[in-house]
Structures are given as structure tokens and as C-alpha cells.
Amino acid sequence: MVKEAVIRARETGHWSQAEGCVADVSRLPFPDASFDAVLASHMLYHVLDPRDALAEIARVLRPNNGIAVIATNGISNLRELFDLRRLVFGGEHGDQVSAAFTLENGQPLVEAVFATVELRKYPDRLVCTEPRDIIDYLTSSPPGDGASQAQIEALRQTVAAAFEKGYGKLVVTKDVGVFLCRASYATNREAV
């Protein structure tokens, strides 16, 4: 992904000197105050401790004018899909992967590190018209990726019922947003 991102950035003609590297966001290999912007797109829920990652992001931002753009999901994101998954496979409500850093529980974390935080939400909905797309999505990751034939058949029936109830479509909530974060150099150092 990093290679592809660098290639695409260079191909635009605006960033012909773009470079990339793979790094642990909790231990970034860059000097203090070395970036104008940091983009953390739907990834802080994958790290062991988002607070450590946020401190590192703040550390590498330039003083006063540096900005961190941190995108994540809200707790309602794709809830209709996760409700269908739960009906067939059981488990917890909602998306347990992104639950570690959401728009709701992530806000106090970013506010503890950055001097100013602006939350911009981008609510939307996805209108699904093909039951197969829902089945493919729900069987692309655990627990659906290990589903038995009986579970897949139960999933097909559950999805078909949802589409019937929705008159041939399934409307899925999209609950995403970004935190726009700025910090002074002193704040960056205190957060580390």
C-alpha cells in the first residue's frame, strides 16, 4: 500500500519527490516537528494503545501550523450489516474492530493531546440493491470467513428477508468523520 501511495502521489505531478516508509505509529522514526500534516485514516482502532499513537502524531507535527487529520467510524457505522451478522453468527452488537477508537470514544483521547480539535461528521447512507454484495461482505472477515455451509445458508435467508422487508433494497447507515487536530510545539512535547 505504501509503494502504491508513493507512485500515485508522484504521478500527480505535484509531489514528484514523495517518499514512503512502513512504520509503527506508536514509535515514528521521524524527528520532532517534521511534518506539516499527518493523515491517520481509519487505522487508530488497529493499534494497541491509541494514546501512544496520538502522542507520536502530535510529536512529529510542526508547531502551531501542523494539522493531524484523523478519520474513523462512529458507533452506528454499518449497523444494519452488523445486525445481520449478529443474527446469524452471534456476538456483540456493532463493529468490534473499530470499537477501540470511534468518533465517540476517540474525541476525549484527541482532546487530551491536541490544543484544538474540530470534529467533522459525514453521515450518509448506502443503498444496497444486491443481496450477494451483503453476503460477500459479511463472509470476508471473521466470523463469516469461517462460516459453515449451514451458516452461509442461514445468512442467505436472513439477507433475503432483510431485502424483502426493504422492498428490494437494504439501507445501511454510514457514520464516519474526521478529527482536525492542531497543537503548539509545547503541547506536542507535553503529550509525549
21, part of any domain: no
In a domain? residue 5:
no
Instruction: Provide the pLDDT for residue 3.
Output: 92
Whether residue 82 lies inside any domain: the answer is yes
- The whole domain housing 121 covers 31-191
Cell 487536530 belongs to residue: 181
Is 44 part of any domain?
yes
Domain membership flag for residue 8: no
Q: What is the pLDDT along the chain (192 residues), one digit of tens a residue?
A: 899 999 999 999 888 888 999 999 999 999 999 999 999 999 999 999 999 999 999 999 998 789 999 999 999 999 999 999 999 999 887 788 889 999 999 999 999 999 999 999 999 999 999 999 999 999 998 999 999 999 999 999 999 999 999 999 999 999 999 999 997 544 444 444
> For 61-83, how does the pLDDT look when each residue is reduced to its tens digit (9 = 90+)?
998 789 999 999 999 999 999 99
- In sequence order, what DSSP letters do the residues of 106-160 get, joined into one string? HHHHHHHH-SEEEEEE--EEEEE--HHHHHHHHTSSTTGGG--HHHHHHHHHHHH
Q: Are 172 and 78 in contact (CB under 8 A)?
A: yes
> Per the domain annotation, does 16 fall within a domain?
no
- Establish if 12 belongs to a structural domain: no
Q: Is residue 15 part of a domain?
A: no
Spatial distance between the Cα atoms of 26 and 45, rounded to a whole number of angstroms: 13
Q: Which pLDDT value is given to residue 60?
A: 96
Q: How far is CA 175 from CA 12, 100, 103, 118, 140, in A?
A: 30, 15, 9, 16, 21
Residue found under cell 470511534: 102
End-to-end Cα, the chain, rounded Å: 28
Enter the C-alpha cell of residue 189: 512535547
Query: Beta 37-41 vs 170-174: how paired, if at all?
Result: unpaired
For residues 9 and 185, give the distance between their C-alpha atoms in angstroms, rounded to a whole number.
28
Give the count of domains, the chain: 1
pLDDT score, position 184 = 57
The reported pLDDT for the residue numbered 94 is: 77
Say which CATH number the domain at 170 has.
3.40.50.150
pLDDT at position 188 is 44
